[in-house]
């Protein structure tokens, strides 16, 4: 019911906008990927994964001059994984690079495999240094594009939404002056300065979403108890913060305290690059709207999605930050769940015709889904608010 395709861009790098892809699916045995962030109050991590490839003819072994891919079986080779349920469209599963091609011999001299460890484009961006570069005061989206331009990231592998905030001018010192600055770290600082998110898409696209990206969100799929195999709900204090300490670099510091009569839960954001002091208070108010009250988290929504072709297609097509509805009717008098949620994490294990998926999600709050009017991009309606 599903076709998993694995391709390698031998001779290319992650900065190549159009690698020449070689289909290596015939040697693919199994794999896994892990994408997302530990919690909705944290940054998205570098996506990781692994592949096990049949290597009985030695084609994936580095330094093997008899390999049809020699001399290109190297660290940094782009890897693309897609999946297609029968009769459905192809969906991206992972786009990253090989961190290593490790020969393994699980049964002595009878079998041979290569273990390929994977990392998505965040690893590449983390290795790019901005030292010596200067950027003017800009909107957040302008800065993100400027940094990606500076390191040579392909224009076709970006999805940058309009920025709602501004960031300060910056001049990064040279390495000898202690100026090492990872491109990824600065991009994450910029996204966090307006409570937006930055993540790497399954198709290799750098995605920046502003803080109202979920405005007017509608459910892209509904998963109820007949469809998933496991549900893990966490109604704890992991994303509860009623005291916000926000500090702008060379500017205002705000303490937003709404803890009266309740235990204090403090969230600190230090040395943020916001462009003016007013944005410091705006960020504090926005974060309190998200985290000021207890929220349920759904850490383990697990699927073995071969119950129907439709379910399989929905699961495969779901991307980070997509909005889905999760429904649960517990036995007895337990509290039912019917929530519009954002997908914050995706873990998958797969074989040529098999797939297991686990989502981590968080229910959205009204502040996120409320319709907003963004200057210059939306038509003002009676029910909208200015973001």
Per-residue pLDDT of 36-57, as tens digits, reads 999 899 999 999 999 999 999 9
Residue 383 lies in a domain: no
Is there a contact between 189 and 293 (Cβ–Cβ < 8 Å)? no
pLDDT digits (tens, 9 = 90+) for 138-184: 999 999 999 999 999 999 999 999 999 999 999 998 776 555 789 99
**For range 344-368, the mean pLDDT:** 89
Task: Give the tens place of pLDDT for each residue, 221-235.
Answer: 999 888 888 888 887
Closest alpha carbon to 3 in 20, 23, 19: 23
In a domain, 386, yes or no: no
Residue 266: pLDDT band (50, 70, 90) is very high
- Provide the H-helix boundaries in 93-200: 121-126, 140-151, 183-193
Same domain, 49 and 116: yes
Residue 227 lies in a domain: yes
Q: Which of 89, 121, 153 is the last residue of a domain?
A: 121
C-alpha to C-alpha distances, 92 to 125, 176, 199, 224, 313, nearest whole angstrom: 21, 42, 15, 24, 12
Are 300 and 290 found together in one domain?
no
Whether residue 383 has pLDDT greater than 70: no
Global pTM reads 0.91
Which residues sit opposite 158 in a β-bridge? 206
CATH number at residue 78: 2.40.10.10
Confidence of residue 299 (pLDDT cuts 50, 70, 90): confident
Same domain, 255 and 315: no
Query: CA–CA separation, 284 vs 367, rounded Å?
Result: 14
Q: How confident is the model at residue 295 (pLDDT cuts 50, 70, 90)?
A: confident
- Taking alpha carbons only, the member of 84, 159, 48 closest to residue 317 is 84
357, 274: one domain = no
Residue 273 lies in a domain: yes
74-85 average pLDDT score: 95
* Residue 10: HSE in the Cβ half-sphere, 13 Å Cα cutoff: 16
Q: Which two tokens stand for residue 332?
A: 């007895």
The answer as to whether 387 is a domain residue is no
Which segments within 151-219 are labelled E, that is strand?
A: 158-160, 166-167, 170-171, 197-200, 206-209
What pLDDT score does 380 carry?
43
Q: 């460890």: which residue's tokens?
A: 117
Q: Closest Cα partner for 140 from 26, 334, 273?
A: 273
For residue 370, the model assigns a pLDDT of 84
Angstrom distance (rounded) from CA 71 to CA 69 = 6
CATH number at residue 138: 3.55.50
d(CA 380, CA 376): 10
3-state SS assignment for residue 182: strand
Q: Are 200 and 173 in contact (CB under 8 A)?
A: no
- Same domain? For 195 and 272 the reply is no
14 Cβ contact list (under 8 Å, min separation 6):
76, 78, 96, 97, 121, 124, 204
Q: Are residues 230 and 359 in the same domain?
A: yes
What the block records as the tokens of 17 is 């906008």
**Residue 230 resides in a domain:** yes
Looking at residue 321, what is its pLDDT? 96
Question: Across the strands, what pairs with 82?
Answer: 5, 92
Q: Within this chain, do residues 61 and 164 fall inside the same structural domain, yes or no?
A: no
Q: Which of 324, 280, 277 is nearest to 298 (CA)?
A: 324
Q: Which domain holds residue 285?
A: 243-294
Shared domain check, 360 and 226: yes
20 vs 295, more confident: 20
Asked if 86 and 96 sit in the same domain, the reply is yes
What pLDDT sits at residue 374? Answer: 56
Q: What is the pLDDT of residue 375?
A: 55
In the chain, how many domains are there? 4
pLDDT at residue 105 is higher than 50 = yes
Burial pattern 20-55, b for ≥16 Cβ within 10 A else e, equals ebeebeebbeebbbbbbbebbeebbbbbbbbbbbbb
- The C-alpha atoms of residue 195 and residue 103 are separated, in whole angstroms, by 43
The alpha carbon of 335 is separated from its chain's Cα centroid by a whole number of angstroms, namely: 30
27 and 73 co-located in one domain: yes
Maximum separation of any 2 CA atoms in the chain, in Å: 73
CA distance 251 to 376: 28
* Tokens 């891919």 belong to residue: 69
Let me know whether 43 and 74 are in one domain. yes
Q: In percent, how much of the chain has pLDDT > 90?
A: 65
| Contact status, residue 5 vs residue 23, Cβ threshold 8 Å | yes
Write b or e for each residue in 142-153: b if 16 or more Cβ atoms lie within 10 A of its Cβ, otherwise e: bbbbebbeebeb
What distance in Å separates the CA atoms of residue 341 and residue 350, rounded to the nearest whole number?
25
327 domain-assigned? yes
Tokens at 224, concatenated: 């109820």
Q: Do 269 and 283 reside in the same domain of the chain?
A: yes
Instruction: Give domain status of residue 63, yes or no.
Output: yes
Token code pair at residue 92? 């991206």
């Amino acid at each position: 019911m599903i076709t998993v395709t694995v391709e390698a861009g031998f001779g290319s790098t992650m900065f190549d906008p159009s690698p020449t892809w070689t289909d290596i699916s015939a040697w693919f045995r199994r794999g896994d990927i892990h994408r997302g962030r530990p919690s909705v109050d944290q940054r998205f991590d570098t996506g990781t994964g692994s592949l096990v490839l049949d290597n009985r003819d030695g084609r994936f072994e580095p330094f093997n001059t008899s390999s049809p891919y020699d001399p290109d079986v190297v660290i940094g080779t782009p890897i693309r994984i897609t999946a297609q349920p029968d009769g459905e469209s192809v969906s991206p599963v992972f786009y990253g690079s090989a961190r290593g091609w490790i020969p393994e011999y699980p049964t002595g001299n009878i079998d041979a495999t290569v273990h390929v460890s994977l990392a998505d484009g965040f690893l590449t961006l983390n290795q790019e240094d901005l030292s010596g570069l200067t950027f003017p005061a800009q909107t957040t989206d302008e800065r993100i594009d400027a940094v990606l331009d500076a390191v040579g990231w392909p224009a076709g592998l970006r999805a940058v939404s309009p920025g709602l905030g501004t960031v300060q001018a910056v001049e990064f010192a040279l390495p000898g002056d202690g100026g090492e600055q990872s491109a990824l770290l600065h991009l994450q600082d910029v996204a966090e300065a307006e409570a937006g998110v930055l993540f790497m898409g399954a198709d290799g696209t750098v995605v920046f979403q502003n803080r109202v990206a979920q405005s007017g969100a509608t459910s892209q799929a509904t998963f109820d108890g007949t469809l998933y195999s496991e549900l893990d709900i966490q109604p704890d204090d992991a994303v509860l913060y009623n005291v916000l300490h926000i500090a702008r670099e060379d500017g205002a510091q705000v303490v937003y305290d709404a803890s009266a009569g309740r235990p204090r839960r403090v969230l600190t954001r230090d040395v943020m690059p916001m462009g003016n002091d007013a944005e410091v208070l705006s960020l504090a108010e926005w974060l309190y709207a998200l985290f000021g009250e207890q929220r349920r988290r759904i850490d383990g929504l697990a699927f073995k999605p071969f119950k129907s072709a439709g379910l399989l297609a929905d699961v495969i097509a779901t991307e980070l930050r997509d909005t889905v509805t999760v429904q649960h009717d517990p036995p007895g008098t337990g509290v039912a769940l019917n929530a519009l949620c954002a997908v914050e994490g995706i873990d998958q294990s797969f074989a040529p015709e098999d797939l297991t998926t686990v989502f981590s999600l968080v229910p959205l709050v009204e502040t996120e889904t409320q319709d907003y009017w963004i200057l210059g991009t939306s038509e003002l309606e009676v029910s909208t608010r200015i973001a």
